[in-house]
Structure 1
Amino acid sequence: MKAQEFRTVLEPTGGKNVAIVVPAEVVAAFDHGKRVPVRVTVDGDHTYSSTITSMGGRYVISFNADTRAATGRGAGDRVEVRLELDDAPRTVAVPPVLDAELREDPAAAAAWAALSYSKKKEHARSVESAKADETRARRVAAVMDALRA
């Protein structure tokens, strides 16, 4: 599949949220349905993985806070976008402290394995971003409770 390139203006989607609106012909060119996993390159120098989704009758890609900080771009800015189909398996590195807990609880480990990539990423980021050991322990406990529920 050939990469798709286009220019667009980043659009606000409510609150602090910003999105790349993807032209319908770009989505169609991937011939991969309406939810297309892609590698997104913005202005030729920042690349991240995301998924084209449908929202409000338009196709969009999230342009989250991390991406805004890395690119210095936000709502209203014009950007050059390059999209490539990303059909590689999406994996999340499990933080060691959470991995240790999962190894001790096969049911929670099975629940973890059944989570979507984005849920795994969200839980892992929560644990990894804790600065204090006490906070990290609370967050691991919260993840484990959610997996057992």
Structure 2
Amino acid sequence: MRLTLELESTGGNTAGFRIPDEVVDELGAGRRPKVAATVGEHTWRSSIARMGDAFWLGMSNENRDLAGVEAGQVLDLDVVVDDAPRTVDLPEELAPVADAWARLSYSNQRRIAEGIESAKKPETRAARVEKALAELS
């Protein structure tokens, strides 16, 4: 489904698209649909969520940079229901707790993995791995 919407600043450095209620209904995937969204050549996976009196699709700083867009622009947005499995690769250091990892939600797996992978120093990575191992034990 193609929409032409403003990428609105929602405070601080956050931005998103206000999605009309009828679009969420037309997608037919519930009131918090998982979607693949595309602006220009850039596609990302997300969910449309109700916030206050409206549905919103957030676009992170990273996704805005990759798409070459900024808040305040009116953009063509393609949105499709994303029913593909959401998976996160298990960081190798967490192999001893793979069973506990498998029971985590996608969001929690992503939170832990991104924290570990984004560490710039080996000691930071080790500390994050240690914290994750304690959380999953």
TM-score, normalised with respect to structure 2? 0.92
Residue 146, structure 1, aligned to residue 135, structure 2? yes
Question: 2:48 aligns to what SS in structure 1?
Answer: strand
- 1:82 alignment partner in structure 2: 78
1:19 alignment counterpart:
16
What are the residue-to-residue correspondences of 1:1-149 with 2, within 5 Å? 4-43=1-40, 45-99=41-95, 101-103=96-98, 109-110=99-100, 112-148=101-137
1:71 deviation in Å?
1.3
**Which contiguous aligned blocks of 4+ residues in structure 1 show a shift greater than 6 angstroms?**
none
CA apart distance, 1:114: 2.6
Q: What stretches of structure 1 of length at least 5 have no aligned partner? A: 104-108
% identical aligned pairs: 38
Offset of residue 95 of structure 1? 1.7
RMSD of the TM alignment (CA)? 1.4
Counterpart amino acid of residue 60 in structure 2:
N
Partner Cα distance (1:138, 1:65) in 2: 26
- Aligned residue type for 1:80: D
